[in-house]
Structure 1
Amino acid sequence: DPLFKIGNEVSIKLGYVNNLRDMILGKIKDVQVSFPASGASTLRVSGLDFLDEVLRGRAKKTYPLEEASYRDAVDAIAGASKLQSKIDPIPDKQPKIFIRKGDAFKPFMDDLARRLDFKFYTRGRTLHFHKRIAQSGIVTLTWGKNLIQFTPHISLNHQLTKVEVRGYNPTTKEPIVGVATSGDIEKTESGGTSGSDMLQAAKTERVKVITNRPVFTKAEAEKIAKAELNKANAALVSGEGSCIGLPGLRPDDYVELNGLGKRFSGKYQVASVTHTFNNSGYITSFNLKRNSSNEPA
């Protein structure tokens, strides 16, 4: 069927009668057909949204951004990927930047997001570059009601107590050092205990030192250190669960889980979401994480 030709655009909507939500706009990347020994044949269609254009893109020319802003750089990448852009305000004082011909867009965008503590994603044909806003889009799920099941676990494996970012100012010949410690962790649960708190209570220090990232000011080094510490400590508590179909649930949203006892009830950030329609109905499965626990260190 030419409808499912590789490269065709596809739009998927999910939800309930008279309340469908746009889930994805993208392109078909893979088509698989199964002809079993018995039963009906099946067709599996896979695709990617337009963020793939950014992740795989490379500059076809050198952009004259030596005196330009970070915003100009993101606009240039969106334009090269044939996308519109929607960008949060960015401070004016920034180091000189540029994109050379042949440079990959993904590491450039990753580095920019780390420097500013931003995130980037696409919705339809628009590239979004936004500040990380804590606890937006909160949905409440209660075990025994609309939360079907949830399996949580706590791990200190990847937790850190401190991050140092070290650079060098070529003009003044002086070192640049930015430091983030447990007090810089933006806890999911206000007043909760972070993995860093638990490690310190056990008299254990885990320090990450970053020396391979260019920094130009102490403030920038501190911002990168803080972002790296929060990223490393993001999944002190993680878990997998499912609920009745929620078409509005997206990665980076927050959910409030109830009925799981003091240790595991509370707010979580959504790491990933899978929406499934089958003979049992509409189910939303998800992976959740949070960087603090409701128990003392």
Structure 2
Amino acid sequence: MPVDAANIEFYAPRFKIEINSAELAAEVSHTIQNVEIVKELNKPNSFRFVVQDEFKGGAFKWLGHDLFKYGNSVSIHMGYTNNMIKMLEGKIQKITADFIKGTAPTFTVDGADNPYTFLTTPSGPKVFRDKTDSAIVEEIAEMAHLEAIVDATEEVAPRKTKKGGKSYLQFLEDLTAANKGYEFFLAERRLNFVKAKQDAKSLMTLTWGKELINFRPALNTTEPYTEVVVRAWDRSGKKLIEGRARAGEEQKQEEGKRLASQIAREIYGDVVKVFTNKPVRTVAEAQREAQKELDKASNNFITGSAETIGIPELQLRVCLSLDGLGDWFSGKYYIKKITHRIDQNGYRSLFEVRRNAL
């Protein structure tokens, strides 16, 4: 059951780490100084924790122990005594140590999602024939032994190629960029390729001076366009292909608000961006490319980074309302990056957000 954000500070923060499916004993957990989980759109999730070691009789107690060996499987839960949420499953990839005279040695354990190695390792060329992009993602998920969660795309491409020397992560980034409003992210054993949910209902409201510890927003009117035009010639070179996306046609995030492109038009008049280098073959493709570029520019209208008391329900693609920040910065935001951290200062959630309206 979710913890009320207004009362969450009265609960005791906790973490639980399992290595190779076995929960760490209390003796080991007490040596862990901090735990951190980072999740970001279009990137693998990662974890980090720091171990305070002991040096007795000329030997370290934990450094070099099989428990923390590279390649071990790790599962991490975070939250509160009555509200623990599984944050990540991954593998240990890197171990770094600090040996400083006069202080107890520590070492840091870093890792990422289980499919990280497969997705990020450059590999040979791979040709996909007569498939939609969503079907290609499903095939990649199967290759990575993941469950695919996709929102279906419509266009069937005769041929798409992942070039040799390129990773599947880079190829997924290209597929995501080619589809308006799509994002990909990993969640446990699932590869998600889905439409952005920035029009979803706010999960909760955080108020500055209460749950919201700090917020650093930036409002930038120079990023949005008032219109995007994509032009290309068909294969014969005789027919012009053109697609347009105009002010006010972005995906709505908040009802009753002016979109970034509309505000830019009020300030600067017409700000038209023309693309002539997009490899489009039909008017529909050109239209989708234009819409994608309009949305992309407007999503940078208001961005910000924030810190709040630890709230395990705050995850990627969640919408939340921030209050007490004045007319310009109070409103509904979309989380594009989230960090959960437990250390000597308690449990904190740090997140990056975007907003396309005012």
Q: 2:159 aligns with which of 97, 103, 106?
A: 97
How far apart are 1:19 and its partner, in Å?
Answer: 2.1
Q: 1:69 aligns with which of 132, 135, 141?
A: 132
1:278 corresponds to: 343
How far apart are 1:21 and its partner, in Å?
Answer: 0.9
2:123 is equivalent to residue 87 of structure 1: no
2:281 is equivalent to residue 216 of structure 1: yes
Does structure 2 conserve the Cα–Cα contact (< 8 Å) formed by 1:88 and 1:131?
Answer: yes
After superposition, what is the alpha-carbon deviation per residue over 1:49-94, rounded to whole angstroms, capped at 9, x for unaligned?
246346424554644x322333331122122323221222332x42
Say which SS state the counterpart of residue 160 (structure 2) adopts. Answer: coil
C-alpha distance in 1, partners of 2:124/2:131? 18
**TM-aligned CA distance change 1:88 to 1:3, over 3 Å:** same
How far apart are 1:282 and its partner, in Å?
Answer: 0.7
After superposition, what is the alpha-carbon deviation per residue over 1:113-140, rounded to whole angstroms, capped at 9, x for unaligned?
2333221111112211112223336221
2:311 is equivalent to residue 252 of structure 1: no
**TM-aligned CA distance change 1:72 to 1:202, over 3 Å:** closer
Does structure 2 conserve the Cα–Cα contact (< 8 Å) formed by 1:135 and 1:253?
Answer: no
Q: 1:21 aligns with which of 85, 109, 114?
A: 85
2:97 corresponds to: 33
1:181 corresponds to: 246
C-alpha distance in 2, partners of 1:123/1:282? 21
Q: How does 1:232-251 map to 2 (within 5 A)?
A: 232-251=297-316
Does structure 1 conserve the Cα–Cα contact (< 8 Å) formed by 2:70 and 2:92?
Answer: yes
How far apart are 1:251 and its partner, in Å?
Answer: 2.4
How far apart are 1:230 and its partner, in Å?
Answer: 0.9
> What's the TM-score once normalised by structure 2's chain length?
0.73
2:71 is equivalent to residue 2 of structure 1: no
Moved more, 203-212 or 70-79: 203-212
After superposition, what is the alpha-carbon deviation per residue over 1:17-64, rounded to whole angstroms, capped at 9, x for unaligned?
14211111122222111122333222211122246346424554644x
Moved more, 279-288 or 101-110: 101-110
Instruction: Flag structure 2 segments of 5+ consecutive residues without an equivalent.
Output: 1-64
Instruction: Flag structure 1 segments of 5+ consecutive residues without an equivalent.
Output: none
**TM-aligned CA distance change 1:195 to 1:134, over 3 Å:** closer
- Which amino acid in 1 is paired with 2:282? T
Say which SS state the counterpart of residue 227 (structure 1) adopts. Answer: helix
Does structure 1 conserve the Cα–Cα contact (< 8 Å) formed by 2:162 and 2:171?
Answer: no
Moved more, 198-207 or 143-152: 198-207
2:226 corresponds to: 161
2:41 corresponds to: none
- Which amino acid in 1 is paired with 2:320? V
After superposition, what is the alpha-carbon deviation per residue over 1:133-189, rounded to whole angstroms, capped at 9, x for unaligned?
233362211223222222322122422222222233226842211111212122433
C-alpha distance in 2, partners of 1:284/1:107? 28
C-alpha distance in 2, partners of 1:16/1:75? 35
1:109 corresponds to: 172
2:190 corresponds to: 126
- Which amino acid in 2 is paired with 1:266? G
After superposition, what is the alpha-carbon deviation per residue over 1:242-275, rounded to whole angstroms, capped at 9, x for unaligned?
1111112112211111222222211011122221
C-alpha distance in 2, partners of 1:103/1:79? 20
Q: 2:207 aligns with which of 126, 133, 142?
A: 142
Moved more, 97-106 or 181-190: 97-106
Identity of aligned residues (%): 34
**TM-aligned CA distance change 1:58 to 1:78, over 3 Å:** farther
Say which SS state the counterpart of residue 177 (structure 1) adopts. Answer: strand
How far apart are 1:6 and its partner, in Å?
Answer: 2.4
**CA RMSD, Structure 1 to Structure 2 (Å):** 2.4
Number of corresponding residues: 291
Does structure 1 conserve the Cα–Cα contact (< 8 Å) formed by 2:248 and 2:259?
Answer: no
2:336 is equivalent to residue 266 of structure 1: no
**TM-aligned CA distance change 1:210 to 1:4, over 3 Å:** farther
